[in-house]
Amino acid sequence: MIVRLTAFFCLFIQLVQAQPNEARSEAPKYWVLLRDKDLSSSPALSPQSIAQRQQQHLPLDETDLAVSGTYLSALKQAGIQPVCQSRWLNAVSARLTNAQYAQVMAMPFVKGIQAIDQAIVITSIEVPSKLQMAPVMTQIQAPNFAQAGLTGRFVNIGVIDAGFFGADSASSLKHVFERQGVKQVRDYVNEKKTQNNLLRTLETMSDFHGTEVMAAIAGSDPTENIQFGLATDATFYLARTDQGNREYRGEEDNWVAAMEWMDSLGVRLINTSLGYAKGMSNPKENYEPSQMDGHTSLISRAAQIAADKKGILIVVSAGNEGDDRSWRIISTPADAQGVLAIGATNSRLWNRIGYSSIGPENLPYLKPNVSCFSLYGTSLSAPVITGFAACIMQANPKLTNKQVMEIIEKSSHLYPYGNNYVGYGVPQASRALALLHNQELPVTTRSVKASGKTFHWPVDGNEATVSVFHKKDATHVLQQEAVKVNNGQLTLRRSSNEKQTTIDLKKEVVEVIWE
């Protein structure tokens, strides 16, 4: 039996590895950016979406109008077959040969052409387990939400991912499907697939990815008394936008199309544990770290439109490139200012776990925004915080996306002393509930001044090791360190170029300002 199974998986891996080579023979895919729209057309939105927009005082505008049918017809007549359409970006995607590229660029209604990044990073394919989820449920104080009756009920959650194989038969998601909690499913990779085919067809090992993400948002196993996610009573809309894992060609246009579809249905909370960075078939088309600036990639521009104009809260995994010395920083669309980018921490010290991507220093805002424990990748820390957001939205459905984001940040244990390693730290349910009820938070932070090369701080004798962030300014970390406590005292040694130091005691935060 072992020999046969081994042979099967070897064959499976060979088939999986063969697919990208076939994809590389296709013409490259591009965004074709168009100049204007037919302003007399009607918004491509459901009545529910329009009502929600009005409730949040977000006006309808040109980004809600469909791409011009006249321009689409002209492209088709020229032999160009659009793949996806984006009303937000006023663009269509299409595969273009060199000759077609020149032909399209010369069309009077074409504003420009931009290559689509074909390298997607998804992070874990491990099935969530008690080992993975129990520590993070304790870390974010999951029982506090449960005691308040907050389970994501009446909240619509969109999940944009690489596949949802076995979701309808997973024990941790049984309760979701039994109550028909998955309302719609779309496959942007193979639009001919039905929902059942998508959930029950395994093409690559990454087809498990969306299933585990769902489990980390809403999973529960009553027989084992295990809670995998916070939003156990939420309603779901699922979209598969990418085929395969790191070795496969990613599809940014599918991601944007899925976002716009969910917007049209009125979905206001979306998890996407996907990111784009490098690794494309043609290295010349890779992103550069300097381009993780929140506006270079069209996918980040679309995410910002969703945040600013559509009232959508997008929760994005920061990425798993923290140990990659050639990259290290977050991927796109986690770089967009309006999204909630989630890093990953260790379970014991709550500092950055090695693989978790770091916020770029060139950004004028903080990334990642917050973090929480994940054993396998930021793909699982992001859905945990998605469930956290769903509980907040259930508690007060009138909150805007930006207000929910602000509550999550302010509820985090390091706030306001965030950094580009873990953001504002780990969100705490007790603090979020207090903010929801307009209660003052207990004072858990203080700022002290220090001079010289060393600084001593008294620490409770129960703490053996303390997490410390050495920073060159208010937010950018030079080094994180686990410092041992000796005889109830913590000793800091200032490094060169160090301006500030954060002492993370979990229940208390001390910000040291070096003079």
Q: List, for residues 320-346, the tens digit of each pLDDT value.
A: 999 998 899 999 999 999 999 999 999
Measured distance CA(132)–CA(212) in Å, rounded: 11
List the Cα angle 135/137/141 in 5-degree steps.
115
**What pLDDT does residue 350 have?**
97
CA-to-CA distance for 232 and 226, rounded, in angstroms?
Answer: 12
The helix, strand and coil proportions of the chain, stated in percent and rounded to the nearest 5, come to 30, 25, 45
Per-residue pLDDT of the chain (515 residues; tens, 9 = 90+): 333 333 322 323 333 333 333 333 478 889 999 999 988 888 888 888 888 888 888 999 999 999 999 999 999 999 999 999 999 999 999 999 999 999 999 999 999 998 886 665 654 444 566 667 889 999 999 999 999 999 999 999 999 998 899 999 999 999 999 999 999 999 998 877 666 678 888 877 788 889 999 999 999 987 778 889 999 999 999 999 887 644 344 578 999 999 999 999 999 999 998 888 765 555 666 788 888 999 988 899 999 999 999 999 999 999 999 999 889 999 999 999 999 999 999 999 999 999 999 999 999 999 999 999 998 889 999 999 999 999 999 999 999 999 999 999 999 999 999 999 999 999 999 999 999 999 999 999 999 999 999 999 999 867 789 999 999 999 999 999 999 999 899 999 999 999 999 999 999 999 999 99
Distance in angstroms between the alpha carbons of the first and the last residue of the chain: 68
Residue 27 confidence (pLDDT):
83
Closest CA to 207 of 483, 402, 12, 408: 12
C-beta separation of 218 from 389 below 8 A:
no
**Nearest alpha carbon to residue 122 among 310, 379, 341:** 379
Angle of helix 401-410 relative to helix 378-395, nearest 10 degrees?
Answer: 110
User: Which residues are CB-neighbours of 6 under 8 A, at least 6 positions away?
Assistant: none
Tell me the C-alpha to C-alpha distance, in Å, between residue 33 and each of 44, 178, 285. 19, 43, 18
pLDDT on residue 406: 98
The predicted pLDDT at position 287 comes to 81
Q: What is the pLDDT at residue 148?
A: 98
3-state secondary structure of 156: strand
Which amino acid, residue 381? S
Of 131, 92, 132, the C-alpha closest to 113 is 92
b/e sequence 254-272, b meaning 16+ C-beta within 10 Å: bbbbbbbbbbbbbbbbbbb
Round to whole Å and give the CA distance between 439 and 452.
Answer: 39
Q: Which two tokens stand for residue 113?
A: 């052409």
Q: How far is CA 266 from the centre of its chain?
A: 19
- Going by their DSSP bridges, the two strands 220-221 and 226-227 should be labelled as antiparallel
CB neighbours of 400 closer than 8 A, spacing ≥ 6? 56, 311
**Is 361:418 a contact under the CB 8 Å cutoff?**
no
DSSP summary character for residue 193: -
Q: Is the dihedral of CA 43, 337, 391, 382 positive or negative?
A: positive
**180 Cβ contact partners less than 8 Å away, ≥ 6 residues apart:** none
Alpha carbons 174 and 168: distance in angstroms, whole number: 7
pLDDT per position as a tens digit, 159-198: 999 889 999 999 999 999 999 999 999 999 887 766 667 8
pLDDT of residue 346: 94
Taking only the tens place, the pLDDT of each residue in 117-158 is 666 565 444 456 666 788 999 999 999 999 999 999 999 999
Q: What is the pLDDT of residues 286-317, one digit of tens each?
A: 788 888 999 988 899 999 999 999 999 999 99
